[in-house]
A and B are shown apart, each in its own frame.
Chain A
Amino acid sequence: MSTNSQDRVEMFRTMVRIREFEERVKRTFAEHPGVIRGHTHLADGAEASIVGSIAAIRPGDQVMATYRCHGYPIALGTDTTAMLAEIYGRSNGLCGGYGGSMHLADPERGFLGTSGIVGQSIPQATGAAYAAQIRRAGDVVLCFFGDGASKQGAFHESLNIASLWKLPIVFVMENNSYSVSVRVEQEDANAAAGEPLATKAKAYSMPGVTIDGGDPDVVYETVAEAVSRARAGEGPTLVESLVYRLSAHGNSIAPPGVPLHYPEHEAVTVFGDVAEYEAAKRGDPVPRFRGALVTGGVLDAARADAIVAEAADEMQRAVDGALAGPEPEPADALRFVHA
């Protein structure tokens, strides 16, 4: 399976849009202090993995993810103004300001939602795959989570059942080597032994593969194969997608009144490993893919620049639209407690 030139340019466009979106979230802390409350988690560095994965599914398929959830809806076509308005807590937000950054949902586009608790969306995605299996329309579920989640019991229980019931699901583990500020080899027996985390698939009689999550072509090919396997009723696959998160785990955590900001990456702040972080920056998947497309003659530099400019304009409109959005009515806090 491979993508044609047009698809690859569209993948690049989506990667750029995600990056621009996340940059605007980050800049909001400095440019509009107090507008974003609580905690945000950015997808910068994982764009190739997200876009390559979602390029492999079709309408009717579904996606569930973690609290680091801004990238997936963009790739699925969700309106970025509604997303940013949600992160700004406005009533024109995607979820009316009820959820915020960690709880985006867009069921019409197959994005069923997220959990703010590590690992807990894995059984939920598995349940959505059970629903898909018995709906018999050939739909598949993509389940995204991080390396830290693979130490949660929910991971073990869900992968066992998904394999046992041959559910149409692809487990995409974005291994960014850090659980907040803990390095993966500090908490994972496989990593400590120098093994890939995809090794864990062995316990479930399930294929497990480890791939370069910085290359959208590789991600697409791998996930597309797993998706077609799932669609054919052959069961789940564990894809370990190696990525590097280019921002800190999340924005700073502070009591109300203290301005929030994005600290430096934990490689630097916790481990003092500037070289690691600089190397990761040099491997940034967005310029890397641009380079591949330009060198390969798929995209010329001027068009690439235009894509970046268009994305910047779109995200400026999103910021403007989100800032202009009204605050919700306080008493609306009592709506939606029950369906």
Chain B
Amino acid sequence: MAREITYIAAIMEGIHQEMSRDEDVLLIGQSVGGSPEDPFVAAFGPDRVRVTPISETAEIGMAAGAALAGKRPVVDCTMAEFLLVAMDQVVNEANRFHYMSGGRVTAPLVLKAGYGFTAGWAGQHTGSIYGMFMGVPGLKVALPSTPADAKGLMATAIRDDNPVLFLHHYLLTLETGDVPEGEHLVPFGQAAIVRPGTDVTLVATGWTVHRALEAAEELAADGVSVEVIDPRTIAPLDVDTVLASVERTGRLVLVDQATRHASVSAIIAAEVAEAGFASLRAPIVQVTALDAPIAYSKPMEDFVLPDVAKIVAGVRRAVDVTLPHDAATAVR
């Protein structure tokens, strides 16, 4: 049975259900378990739910150590930028233990953090900084765009034996959607085709998935059929689903809230250029944030971010060009 709940409630439900299922799952962080009335403390007790000081290195390092010792900690890191305070622990410790021990130990932990809060939080709390994590070996990265995926990806993240960075988009916090009750798992590395189409493939993540869908609706009125794909996890990244779609549509537009040169879109563009060149009937178009921090003042904030109009314009650029098939097939 599904019912409508918010994105953030879905995430917390995912954590709650996994904590009920497996007593090794812990929840720690600066904004959890601060009082006895906290629902997680009430349900699971202070052994498994603990508020921490503002000590990011210790929080994440302790999660790694507890994981090595058999626990499965979830660390609520609040905002993605706070991970940067503890960068060594995020990208150079837990993710390497399994490998460097030749498989003798595992470090199953989840780092939950919000990102992309482009609502006047200025340059240190608004970034879409997953680009600096997605290429780190041993670290998985999930970017849910819907409440159902948020719950399902969280549950999968907790059950995964590896460190997982679970990045939830702040602008989606109170968005609602149908979420299955009970156990709900969304596999990693499996993109979702959230709207089928035939003319253009549009790939987007997080909050931009919804902007891409709005753009697709607008373009449909003009007779352009857009297929919208959400990778859902960017490490592992499901390139195959994108390649298969491009094979059908011949056109690829990539939307990303990250700065252009640290984006998922740049990686997908490179993969498709290498493995899907013969399918392309137009140059790949990237609609990303500009390579700038996020300014405080709203007009400037809007200026650097992708929006529906920019996506529509990007799709039009892609459909306005048709390369001769001969050029592409020559390299097959």
Establish whether A and B are touching in the complex (CB under 8 Å). Answer: yes
Residues on A facing B (Cβ under 8 Å): 62, 64, 93-99, 103, 105-107, 112-113, 115, 117, 120-135, 153-154, 157-158, 160-161, 164-165, 335-339
Q: Across the A-B interface, how many residue pairs have beta carbons closer than 8 Å? A: 149
In the complex, what residues of A have CB within 8 A of residue B47's CB?
A: 133-134
Let me know if A124 and B101 touch, CB within 8 A: no
CB-CB nearest in chain B for A122: B61
A126 to B67, CA, bound (A): 11
Are A130 and B98 also in contact (CB < 8 A) when A96-B103, A339-B103 are? no
Let me know if B57 and A339 touch, CB within 8 A: no
Q: What 1/0 mask marks residues of chain B from 118 to 148 whose CB sits below 8 Å from any chain A CB? A: 0000000000000000000110100000000
Let me know if B57 and A98 touch, CB within 8 A: no
In the complex, what residues of B have CB within 8 A of residue A105's CB?
A: 97, 100-101, 104-105
Q: Please name the 3 residue pairs, one residue from A and one from B, whose CB atoms are nearest each other, closest first.
A: A123-B61, A127-B65, A96-B102
Let me know if B64 and A127 touch, CB within 8 A: yes
Residues on B facing A (Cβ under 8 Å): 26, 47-48, 50, 52-53, 55-71, 73, 88-89, 92-93, 96-106, 108, 137-138, 140, 161-162
Let me know if B93 and A95 touch, CB within 8 A: no
Let me know if B89 and A99 touch, CB within 8 A: no
Let me know if B162 and A103 touch, CB within 8 A: no
Let me know if A158 and B61 touch, CB within 8 A: yes
CB-CB nearest in chain B for A104: B101
Are A154 and B58 also in contact (CB < 8 A) when A127-B67, A134-B47, A337-B138 are? yes
In the complex, what residues of A have CB within 8 A of residue B63's CB?
A: 127
CB-CB nearest in chain A for B70: A131
**Which of A64, A106, A123, A125 is within 8 Å of B104, CB to CB?**
A106
**Which of A98, A124, A135 is within 8 Å of B61, CB to CB?**
A124
In the complex, what residues of A have CB within 8 A of residue B68's CB?
A: 107, 112-113, 124, 127-128
Are A131 and B102 also in contact (CB < 8 A) when A117-B93, A124-B64, A161-B62 are? no
CB-CB nearest in chain B for A105: B101
A336 to B88, CA, bound (A): 20
Let me know if A157 and B65 touch, CB within 8 A: no
In the complex, what residues of A have CB within 8 A of residue B106's CB?
A: 339
Are A113 and B97 also in contact (CB < 8 A) when A153-B57, A158-B58, A336-B102 are? yes
**Which of A106, A154, A157, A336 is within 8 Å of B53, CB to CB?**
A157
